[in-house]
Amino acid sequence: MQNDRVRNGELVCSGDHRYPIKEFVPVFAHELDYMKVFSNLRSQPAGTLPSTEQLDVQKLTSDEFARQTATSIEDLRGKTVLDAGCGGGRFVELLKSCGATVVGMDIDSTGLRRIGATLADNGNLHFVHADLFRLPFRSGAFDFIYSLGVLHHTPDPKGAFLNLARLLKPGGQIALWVYPKSERTPLSDAIRPITTRIPSKYLYWIAHIVTTPYGPLLRMPRFKERFRAMLYNARLPWHEEKYWRIHSFMDWYGPRYQFKYDPEEIQAWYSEAGLVDYIRCQYETSARGSAPMSPQANTRLAQVENEYR
């Protein structure tokens, strides 16, 4: 135990279901093969890459959260919040002082354990190792759910979204961001069938080899902007910091699934889930909507719940 938290042990539920707790994180899932690229990246030994704190818990501003979710973190005070696919927990970290109870959930345990241990002293933050397709939460558990940059990496993004929507309390809100179709990526679309088959430990070294040589050019004031634009169009990382170039290369070329959407398709997910008050957030494929307040209007959510059980 540490500060009333179980560091390593077992969670025993009714019906005598037992789940291990490892480094403060209850484990409800196995790692998925198709997501190994993220765990490999997050488990690089110190020295080859900066620590997770630098890599994932990038100092995000609340402006970025607001851009993706149309929500100010101050509005989450007193709420129960789920970060679905929290990765290394950078958004959870951002919310740590906003007065909400925040649950960070991911299928990759590497990032969760690192961040879970760092934030274990913070009583309102919790981490859970679980799969979006087998969620260990009861329906209606959350006031606010967000899933940023996650669903497009799963085999069934809409199914995962509908699963999450049923976890909302009446009046609760869900926000997401997925890749837009509008970004033309013919070159990387042609290369990805090869790169996604390369074991992630080798892809990691390819990321080094590809993104290291042009690093100095990104620091030359005269070139910088034009060069960045070229790299962006070619779907090569344009960040000045080497670790972000590697992270971004792995994120784009590693995951097996990379679906892209039109805003209209996202809006259709929200209405299929029976959600109301749909708004498009600042990015074209970022959106937010709410579960209806009245129980009658929640019928569609109940149907969705049955379909996806």
Ligand X SMILES: C[S@@+](CC[C@H](N)C(=O)[O-])C[C@H]1O[C@@H](n2cnc3c(N)ncnc32)[C@H](O)[C@@H]1O
Among 50, 136, 140, 149, binds ligand X (CB under 6 A): 149
* Smallest separation (angstroms) from ligand X to the CB of 187: 21
Our CB check for ligand X shows the closer of 133 and 278 to be: 133
Q: Which amino acid, 189?
A: D
Tell me the closest approach of the beta carbon of residue 32 to ligand X, in angstroms. Answer: 6
Buried-state track 277-306, b at ≥16 Cβ within 10 A, e below 16 = eeeebeebbbbbbbbbeeeeebebbeebbe
Distance CA 133, CA 41 (A): 23
CA distances from 156 to 47, 161, 269 (A): 36, 9, 12
Which residue's structure tokens are 């960070």? 104
- Return the residue of 73, 148, 246, 273 that touches ligand X, per CB under 6 A: 148
Q: Binding of ligand X at residue 251 (CB under 6 A)?
A: yes
Residue 305 binds ligand X (CB under 6 A): no
106 scored as a contact of ligand X (CB under 6 A):
yes
Q: Is 306 helix (H, G, I), strand (E, B) or coil?
A: helix
Minimum CB distance to ligand X smaller for 148 or for 298: 148
Taking the least distance from each CB to ligand X, the nearer of 38 and 244 is 38
Closest CB 170 distance from ligand X, rounded Å: 25
Residue keyed to tokens 């906003």: 98
Per CB under 6 A, which of residues 155..214 are in contact with ligand X? none
| CB closer to ligand X, 150 vs 304 | 150
- Tell me the DSSP string of 140-188: T-EEEEEEES-GGGSS-HHHHHHHHHTTEEEEEEEEEE--BTTS--HHH
Q: How far is the CB of 68 from ligand X (least distance, A)?
A: 9
Burial class of residue 61 (count of CB atoms within 10 Å of its CB; 0-12, 13-18, 19+): exposed
Applying CB under 6 A, does 38 fall inside the site for ligand X? yes
Task: Please state, as a whole number, how many other Cβ atoms lie within 10 Å of the Cβ of residue 202.
Answer: 11
Query: Which one of the spans 82-90, 167-175, 180-188, 223-231 is the region binding ligand X (CB under 6 A)?
Result: 82-90
Which helix (H) or strand (E) covers residue 211, if one does? helix 200-211
Per-residue string for binding with ligand X, 255-294, x by CB under 6 A? ----------------------------------------
Residue from the set 41, 69, 81, 90 that interacts with ligand X by CB under 6 A: 90
Nearer to ligand X, 156 or 272 (CB): 156
Cβ 130 vs Cβ 268: under 8 Å: no
Q: With contacts defined by CB under 6 A, name the span among 19-27, 129-137, 165-173, 195-203 that binds ligand X.
A: 129-137
Residue 68 sits in the site that holds ligand X (CB under 6 A): no
The pair of structure tokens assigned to 264 is 């209209």
Q: By CB under 6 A, is residue 107 in contact with ligand X?
A: yes
Please tell me the total number of residues recorded for the chain in this structure. Answer: 309
Q: Which is nearer to ligand X, 138 or 219 (CB)?
A: 138
**What is the maximum span of the chain, computed from C-alpha positions, in angstroms?**
66
For binding to ligand X (CB under 6 A), which residues are involved?
35, 38, 56, 85-87, 90, 106-108, 131-133, 148-150, 153-154, 251
